[in-house]
Structure 1
Amino acid sequence: MSIQVEKFLDQQNKQMKLLYKPVLYNHWMSATTGKKEWIEKHEKALIDYFVNFSDPEAFKTILSLKKDENLTQLQKRQLDDLYNKMVKNQLNKNEVSKTVELEKKISQKFTTYRPEFQGEAVTNNDLLDVLKNSDNHSERKEAWLSSKQIGKKIEKDILFLVRKRNADAKALGFDNYYQMCFETQELDIDVVFETFQKLVELSNEPFRKIKDEIDQELSDKFNMDADDLRPWHYVDPFFQEAPPVNGFDMDKFYKGKDLEQIVTDTFKSMGLDIVDILKKSDLYPRKDKNPFGFCTHIDREGDIRVLINLDESVFWSTALFHEIGHAAYFKYIDRSLPFILRFHSHTLTTEAIALFFGRMNKTWDWQKQFLGLKEEELNEVMPFAAKMLQRQMLVSARWMITFSFFERELYENPEQDLNKLWWQLVEKIQLVKPPEATHYPDWASKMHFSLAPASYQDYLLGELTASQLQNYIETTISTNLFKPEVGSYLVEQFFTHGASLHWNEKIKKATGEHLNPGYFIKQFFN
């Protein structure tokens, strides 16, 4: 049997390697040029890649080989990975095409729809600008309502897609689509939601305190009672971002700084060389370039690139560190591993590293050593930076929990009054008072429910993992993060194993215990 397993896995690794690079390379070219030809090449390469995982004979072979009790750890992990990729692709091609067409239809509506505001068609960025800067109550309310118009336009499409996904999942033997996604991501749905419920309970008091501070600042700003605040008084339509701390501008300390050199020096201090990555990356904004940020490992053999739109600000500094964190993880995966396993063991593990590095520019040690702030400047900065980081962690954690609780219900019972459920969860978890009318499908205006399903929980699990890693480093390796031994620890205990370990076993190997939300709570809720 072992010869049969190795022969099959060798074939699968070669085939996957052949199809993988065109997907990521064409995606990179479409993101950096905006040209239609690269977008079309990427779509074709993606179709070819997924067709490879729809082979029913290969899937039968995997099911048979997984029964072998003498599999090595690497063989088992490869077969598990292939199973998780293939089980979702064993549907009739016509059914798959129907789902893809529904997703494309919704994506096109999100891309092309322009909400109406003050009698004119505007962009979402125009509406966000109003919410960030306007002091006019009626203008803010109109902008917020305009941001939700897309929800009404696509609500029926989304619900049709949810029912279709559920039907597809049931045809494959799962209870519903959401459950299928969790199982094929190696996530225990009950454990994840028990963890999130525990986070809600433990964060209730500190979050209420932070929320009261934010509401008091807003009530002073708008000269109104805090009880009268509504969703349009916050800077983000979903209250997923914390407003800036009043009276302080951190961006001023980034003016004239060479952020490429700063990020290079930061990682070098930890023994992590990223110079080769920066040389291949696309770091600055220009016409026809993707306006967001991501990291890609194009061939799983060292061609690692980062795309961001860097300027002299805290926001883009954080984005740079975040994406280079992803890149460092990819760079130091053991390349002697089979191609299938030269990847992160789960999205949450690479997010954990990206978030770990993305938090650094809020710390005293980093701002002193790498941003070059003087003692008096640090005394001015740190109270605001610490409060801003705590605010952001609390606000974003409660938002991600709200999203996840709702999404699970959406797939388990799409026939219920979803609009009512949405505002019940928002009010209970985020402490945001609903508008006068809650029958409108405000939830549907969030693109992730339709186009990035069952993924939001990974970000919060990544935050929990980042805190657990940081706690272990500071209590066991070094209280100063900017030491070579810290980089060595991350490489040897976390990066190098790639996907050869289950994500929770990787966390246990690196920290001595499985994922424990207590460290996140200790870091940000106390």
Structure 2
Amino acid sequence: MAVEQFLQTQNEKIRELYRGITNASWKAQTTGDKEWAQKVGEAQTQFRTYFSDKELYETVTSYLKMDNLSALQKRQLEALQKTLRENQLPKDILKELSQLSAELNHMFNTYAPEVDGKKLSANDIRNILLNSDDVQERENAWKASKEVGQVVEGKLLTLVRKRNEAAKAVGFDNYHQMSFKNQELDREEIFSIFQKLIDDSDKAFRALKAELDEEIASKFNITVEEIRPWHYVDPFFQEAPASEETNLDPYFKNEDLNKLTADTFSAMGIPIDDLYAKSDLLPREGKNPTAFCTDMDREGDTRVLCNNEPNAYWMGTMLHEFGHAAYFKYLDRELPFILRSPAHTLTTEAIAMLFGKMTQNKEWLKTFLKLEDSKLDELAPALEKHEQLMMLIAGRWIITFVFFEKELYENPEQDLNGLWWKLVSEIQLVNPPEGRDLPDWAAKIHFTLAPVYYQNYLLGELTSAQLHHYINKQVSDQFFTPEVGQVLNEQFFKLGSKYHWNEKIERVTGEKLNPEYFSEAYCKIK
């Protein structure tokens, strides 16, 4: 069969399988019904079974050895090869992997911890950690947020071991190693970059965190040494708490988050408000309590799930998720279905993060929230300092997760609870609770829902910093303009996965991924 005819057949088959997964997954995430969770597992099994075909794998491998392939043909074949490689397993193992994953996702979506007989949602826990002055209430809420870890630990470790078996079956030491290969990431290079970020940010992070800890100690009338995880504003210390000066929640109390989001993207000539019709943006029992964006069909049906409340957190989340949505919406639909997706997870995260941070941005606050110049001038120094703390806390959290996940897959039989708190204390500088030996790490849904994904958040931040620097220096000193929107649309969104992710970054900014832009922006003492 000619390669072009072969690829056309594969594109049509993948389109069919892909839609089966996204439709079932959206129902599962928005209803919490176990029936849909099972259907997700069935759809994923169908997908993985199709790609377990050894003959198909050999055919793709042989085509890749041809000398006369076009660039588009080669990219499609490479994408097929990666998917095939990770699914060269017996059908019963593929089915078990899919079913385990679906069951775990259902457990996460439907588990609601109780404190004093009252069920707490993720928003309830977040509000307690943000606002409560009652230390016991905070501790109870924090511990409640971790309970799901004990519920899922057994099945999650089974899934980790099964994923490792799958990777070993196709020649890798473990699933983590295979995932980096399939994501076109050099594991040694990425971990080296992350270690350098720890080193480069050490003085600034320690200084800013010391200030934060002094404020927390004063607020709760304790010593710095007595601070524990529940004194911070989220269960994993992945966010910077707002001070009185930087708490923007009052400004959003009476705002329409949908309108602010739509206005932001419309100002840049990349409107997204048509995507609201099929999105699910308000909290409801049974639905996924977090937020995500999904491209349902790569034909324009892009949806966002949120659990919005009128505050700065959910405003930032809306801008983040609709950053993903804009990327999906404006992909070139003339591309083959296989390439009609972002060049890499990190490139779509870069766009999402670029927009998600705008709630701290002076230009955005003036243009869309209509804050007066005098108020912005008053807020600006504190917001700039808060953004640095926010980026350093987020960076340290991501690195903690990434370092732990590598160890998890390299040796799932080790003392994971102890390892978790060792990394948290060394990298995030958070004091562990005394005598605690529970799977707090397993309470983070990404170990289940998005394995070996988390590094892409920080790689996305590095790309975002580089892209923002390029736009500011080479395109426009004002961000929310049609000129900037055109650059993002034409040079970033439309190209899909036509090029390797690093080639794409180089084509847009003039150089491959360079962490120095992030370091310069956030890792220096100011």
Under a length normalisation based on structure 1, what TM-score does the superposition of the two structures give? 0.91
Q: Is the 8 A contact 1:242 1:391 kept in 2?
A: yes
C-alpha change, 1:292 and 1:445, in structure 2 (3 Å) is closer
Counterpart position of 1:253:
251
Within a 5 Å distance, the mapping from 1:33-48 to structure 2 comes to 41-48=39-46
Q: For 2:174 and 2:502, how far apart are their aligned partners in 1? A: 24
Higher mean alpha-carbon deviation, 387-396 vs 431-440, is at 431-440
Please give the root-mean-square deviation of Cα atoms over the aligned residues, in Å. Answer: 2.6
Within 2, Cα distance between the matches of 1:172 and 1:386? 48
Matches within 5 A, 1:287-306: 290-306=288-304
In structure 2, the CA distance between the partners of 1:101 and 1:115, relative to structure 1 (3 Å rule), is same
The offset of 1:20, in angstroms, is 2.4
- Cα deviation for residue 331 of structure 1 reads 2.2
Change (3 A) 1:292 1:143: closer
Residues 217-254 of structure 1: per-residue CA shift (max 9 Å, x gap) = 11001111112212232222221222222355412223
1:87 corresponds to 2:85: yes
**Which of 480, 483, 495 lines up with 1:482 in the alignment?**
480
Task: Please name the residue that 2:385 is paired with.
Answer: 387
Q: Secondary structure at 1:498's aligned position in 2?
A: coil
- Provide closer, same or farther for how the CA distance between residues 153 and 36 of structure 1 changes in structure 2, counting only shifts above 3 A: closer
1:349: which partner in 2?
Answer: 347
| Cα distance, 1:38 vs structure 2 | 5.4
Deviation at 1:117, TM superposition (A): 4.3
CA distance in 1, matches of 2:173, 2:212: 41
Q: How does 1:330-369 map to 2 (within 5 A)?
A: 330-369=328-367
Displacement of 1:196: 0.5
Measured at CA, do residues 275 and 417 of structure 1 come closer, stay the same or move farther in structure 2, by a change above 3 Å? Answer: closer
Question: 1:401: which partner in 2?
Answer: 399
| In structure 2, C-alpha distance between the alignment counterparts of 1:124 and 1:305, rounded to whole Å | 23
Give the whole-Å Cα distance in 2 for the aligned partners of 1:163 and 1:30: 25
Q: 1:514 aligns with which of 490, 512, 515?
A: 512
| One-letter amino acid of the counterpart of residue 27, structure 1 | S
Compute the displacement of 1:11 (Å).
0.7
Q: Which residue of the partner structure matches residue 77 of structure 1? A: 75
1:296 is paired with a residue whose SS is strand
CA distance in 1, matches of 2:393, 2:330: 33
- Please, which moves more after superposition, 154-163 or 512-521? 154-163
Q: Per the alignment, in what secondary structure is the counterpart of residue 306 of structure 1?
A: strand
- Residue 294 of structure 2 aligns to a residue whose secondary structure is strand
After superposition, where does 1:97-496 map in structure 2 within 5 Å?
A: 97-104=95-102, 106-107=104-105, 109-111=107-109, 115=113, 117=115, 120=117, 122-123=119-120, 125=122, 127-152=125-150, 154-246=152-244, 248-285=246-283, 290-437=288-435, 439-496=437-494
Aligned residues: 523
More displaced, 186-195 or 372-381? 372-381
Are the structure 2 counterparts of residues 26 and 316 from structure 1 closer, same or farther at C-alpha, using a change threshold of 3 Å? same
Query: Secondary structure at 1:359's aligned position in 2?
Result: helix
Tell me, in whole angstroms, the C-alpha distance in 1 between the residues paired with 2:21 and 2:99: 20
The 1:336/1:415 distance shift into structure 2, 3 A limit, reads: same
Residue 311 of structure 1 and its aligned partner are, at CA, apart by 4.1
Shift of 1:461: 0.9
Q: Deviations over 1:457-483 (max 9, x none)?
A: 111111111111000000111111122
5+ residue gaps, structure 2: none
Q: What is the letter of the counterpart of residue 401 of structure 1? A: I
1:250-293, Cα deviation, whole Å (9 max, x unpaired): 12223443444433332233222334334554444556655443
- 1:244 maps to amino acid: A
Residue type of the alignment partner of 1:399: W
Counterpart-to-counterpart distance in 2, 1:159 and 1:142: 26
- Alpha carbons of 1:175 and 1:69: their partners in 2 closer, same or farther (altered >3 Å)? farther
Counterpart of 1:295 in 2: which secondary structure?
strand
Q: Which runs of 5 or more residues in structure 1 are unaligned?
A: none
